């Protein structure tokens, strides 16, 4: 899929936003800044495979394997990953890859193992089995800070910001892994430390401009509506200048307008900076519109992998979403 065509595909209509069965979110945080998206119930198998009505108002291209923008080389290769917590098998023998510059979605019903997978990718969880190869190097027991230094940044399913700190200061924490001079020099605001901090502040200001949050830069994060907090979290991740961005439900609990904005920002990041995006999202309209490839998990197992069109027509995927209750 061409980069230019992506933005045009994110056309929205308030009515008709749907989530697949078993994925509707009704948590209180979903109120957001402008009201929650009402879950609209399960789609029928016919609807699921019917392009004409899948996402009203969206001019979606018919994508095939050839058209998917997967031309970039594989930068992350996950092979036979298994992860257990005691008796709970969160991930079982999962393999998939991520190509440079693509938007790769991970979808699946609640508890499918999506967040666990992101935690494996950025070194929070260490799988008992499997290989992780990132940019040609097999990774051993990596710590999240090492992942950050390798250019992997993330946002969290539940917002993880310092609520009492300003937007500006929160975003500045995203630069932590980039600091080169010592704490002592910074405390004295001296020489190289001063220059370095000026550089960091400049980068942070660029991110603030990019995400259009100038007006709230001095506001404590805790006072912001939910949708804006999500944007600040994205800003903090971007401040690290990642080459790979892991987004765990960046649009959960947002209203249609906020989702539209977030989609635009994600695609702008992908297009303008070439950042590879790995995205967990429950809103199938969003997934189908902005992803190049989709991997589908269910009960910790991979049940589908391909372009949005391929995945949407996969009988196992349809069954997982419509044939079982979780």
Name the minimum Å distance from CB 114 to Mg ion. Answer: 5
| Candidate residues 115, 119, 177, 275; the one interacting with Mg ion per rule CB under 5 A | 115
132 to 161: interface string for Mg ion, x by CB under 5 A: -------------------------x----
Of the two residues 113 and 308, which places its CB atom closer to ligand ATP in the complex?
Answer: 113
Structure tokens at 149: 């230094």
Of the two residues 38 and 88, which places its CB atom closer to ligand ATP in the complex?
Answer: 88
Name the minimum Å distance from CB 226 to Mg ion. Answer: 17
Of the two residues 82 and 157, which places its CB atom closer to Mg ion in the complex?
Answer: 157
Strand arrangement of the beta sheet that strand 244-248 belongs to: 152-155, 244-248, 276-280, 103-107, 293-298, 301-306
Q: Rounded CA gap, 233 and 150, in Å?
A: 19
Of the two residues 111 and 225, which places its CB atom closer to ligand ATP in the complex?
Answer: 111
229 binds Mg ion (CB under 5 A): no
Residue showing the smallest CB distance to Mg ion in the complex? 115
Count of residues interacting with Mg ion (CB under 5 A) = 3
User: Pick from Mg ion, ligand ATP, none: which does 113 bind, CB < 5 to 8 A by kind?
Assistant: ligand ATP
Name the minimum Å distance from CB 202 to ligand ATP. Answer: 36
Of the two residues 23 and 70, which places its CB atom closer to ligand ATP in the complex?
Answer: 23
| Other beta carbons within 10 Å of 167 | 27
Q: Rounded CA gap, 102 and 295, in Å?
A: 13
User: Pick from ligand ATP, Mg ion, none: which does 110 bind, CB < 5 to 8 A by kind?
Assistant: ligand ATP
User: Pick from Mg ion, ligand ATP, none: which does 307 bind, CB < 5 to 8 A by kind?
Assistant: none
Of the two residues 113 and 304, which places its CB atom closer to ligand ATP in the complex?
Answer: 113
Cβ neighbours of residue 278 closer than 8 Å, sequence gap 6 or more: 76, 98, 104, 105, 106, 118, 121, 244, 245, 246, 247
- Based on the number of CB atoms within 10 Å of its own CB, is 211 exposed (0-12), middle (13-18) or buried (19 or more)? buried
Q: Rounded CA gap, 219 and 214, in Å?
A: 10
Of the two residues 175 and 282, which places its CB atom closer to ligand ATP in the complex?
Answer: 282
Binding site for ligand ATP (CB under 6 A): 85, 88, 90, 108, 110-116, 157
Q: What crossing angle do the helices spanning 191-210 and 226-239 adopt, rounded to 10°?
A: 130
Q: Rounded CA gap, 128 and 188, in Å?
A: 45
Q: Rounded CA gap, 38 and 45, in Å?
A: 21
Closest CA to 27 of 157, 195, 164: 157
Place of tokens 């016919």: 46
Name the minimum Å distance from CB 179 to Mg ion. Answer: 31
Name the minimum Å distance from CB 253 to ligand ATP. Answer: 12
Report the SS3 class of residue 234.
helix
Name the minimum Å distance from CB 170 to ligand ATP. Answer: 23
User: Pick from ligand ATP, Mg ion, none: which does 116 bind, CB < 5 to 8 A by kind?
Assistant: ligand ATP
Name the minimum Å distance from CB 186 to Mg ion. Answer: 36
Closest CA to 229 of 247, 209, 250, 244: 250
Name the minimum Å distance from CB 90 to ligand ATP. Answer: 3
Q: Rounded CA gap, 62 and 133, in Å?
A: 32
Of the two residues 89 and 271, which places its CB atom closer to ligand ATP in the complex?
Answer: 89
Applying CB under 5 A, which residues contact Mg ion?
Answer: 114-115, 157
């Amino acid at each position: 899929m061409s980069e230019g065509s992506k933005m045009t595909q994110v056309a929205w209509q308030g009515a008709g936003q749907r989530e697949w069965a078993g994925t509707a979110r009704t948590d209180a945080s979903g109120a957001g800044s402008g009201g929650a998206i009402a879950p609209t119930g399960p789609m029928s198998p016919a609807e699921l495979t019917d392009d004409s009505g899948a996402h009203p108002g969206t001019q979606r291209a018919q994508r095939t394997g050839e058209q998917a923008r997967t031309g970039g080389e594989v930068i992350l290769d996950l092979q036979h990953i298994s992860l257990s917590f005691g008796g709970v098998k969160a991930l079982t023998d999962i393999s998939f890859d991520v190509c440079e510059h693509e938007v790769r979605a991970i979808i699946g019903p609640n508890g499918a193992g999506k967040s666990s997978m992101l935690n494996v990718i950025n070194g929070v969880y260490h799988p008992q089995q499997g290989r992780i190869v990132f940019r040609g190097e097999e990774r051993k027991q990596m710590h999240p800070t090492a992942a950050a230094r390798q250019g992997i940044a993330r946002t969290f399913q539940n917002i993880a910001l310092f609520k009492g700190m300003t937007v500006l200061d929160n975003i500045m924490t995203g630069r932590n892994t980039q600091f080169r001079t010592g704490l002592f020099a910074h405390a004295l605001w001296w020489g190289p430390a001063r220059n370095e901090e000026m550089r960091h502040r400049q980068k942070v200001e660029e991110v603030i401009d990019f995400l259009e949050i100038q007006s709230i830069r001095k506001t404590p994060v805790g006072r912001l509506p939910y949708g804006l907090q999500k944007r600040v979290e994205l800003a903090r991740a971007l401040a690290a200048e990642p080459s790979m961005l892991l987004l765990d439900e960046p649009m959960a609990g947002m209203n249609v307008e906020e989702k539209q904005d977030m989609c635009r920002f994600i695609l702008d990041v992908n297009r303008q900076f070439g950042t590879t995006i790995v995205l967990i999202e429950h809103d199938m309209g969003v997934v189908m519109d902005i992803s190049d490839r989709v991997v589908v998990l269910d009960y910790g197992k991979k049940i589908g992998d391909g372009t949005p069109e391929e995945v949407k027509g996969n009988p196992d995927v349809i069954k997982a979403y419509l044939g079982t209750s979780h």
